[in-house]
């Protein structure tokens, strides 16, 4: 693959990241890589080894990043309705309930990833309340 194509695809990656309003550091965190690796991909210095996480994080049709590097086909964003169902990232954290119990919660972001870290424990509990009532989430066991 020639350097010109790597640079072109890198520019497309940066353009897509900018369209989504995602910072380089945030994308690196979602991809669980160093921010320098994002910079290297965006400048054409390196080609991402695993393309599917990049496609999911940037809401691209799977396979479009590989095609872009292979033959220069422009990156193909997901349709708006499909993008809402692609997990961008997830993390597990402990939250405190009003009763003082601690609950382990895995948060999966399917929209812009920046909202995920900004939720308070109370906001997470509100989101989970209906899931717990319906039985799709295990209720925390009271300590004895």
Taking residues 12-37, what's their average pLDDT?
91
Say if domain 3-83 classifies as CATH 1.10.260.40: yes
Residue 110 predicted with pLDDT over 60? no
Q: Residue 50: its pLDDT value, please?
A: 84
Domain boundaries, the chain: 3-83, 89-134
Portion of the chain with pLDDT greater than 70, in percent = 58
- 48, with CB counted inside 10 A (0-12, 13-18, 19+), is buried
- Give mean pLDDT, residues 58-79: 89
pLDDT in tens, 114-143: 444 566 666 656 666 655 555 544 444 444
pTM: 0.58
Q: Exposed e or buried b for every residue in 64-103, given b needs 16+ CB within 10 A?
A: bbebbbeeeeebebbeeeebeebebbeeeeebeeeeeeeb
pLDDT computed for residue 143 by the predictor? 47
Tens digits of per-residue pLDDT, 29-60?
888 899 999 999 999 999 998 888 898 889 88
- pLDDT > 70? residue 17: yes
Q: How confident is the model at residue 79 (pLDDT cuts 50, 70, 90)?
A: confident
In the prediction, which pLDDT does 31 show? 86
């Amino acid at each position: 693959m020639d350097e010109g194509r790597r640079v072109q695809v890198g520019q497309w990656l940066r353009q897509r990241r900018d369209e989504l309003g995602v910072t380089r550091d945030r994308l690196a965190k979602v991809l669980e890589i160093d921010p320098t690796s994002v910079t290297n991909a965006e400048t054409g210095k390196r080609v991402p080894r695993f393309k599917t996480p990049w496609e999911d994080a940037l809401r691209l049709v799977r396979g479009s990043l590989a095609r872009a590097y292979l033959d220069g086909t422009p990156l193909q964003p997901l349709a708006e309705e499909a993008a809402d169902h692609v997990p961008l990232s997830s993390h597990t954290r402990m939250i405190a309930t009003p009763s003082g119990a601690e609950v382990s919660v895995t948060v999966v972001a399917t929209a812009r990833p920046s909202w995920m870290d900004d939720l308070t424990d109370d906001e997470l509990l509100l989101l989970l309340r209906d899931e717990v009532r319906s039985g799709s989430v295990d209720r925390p066991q009271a300590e004895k």
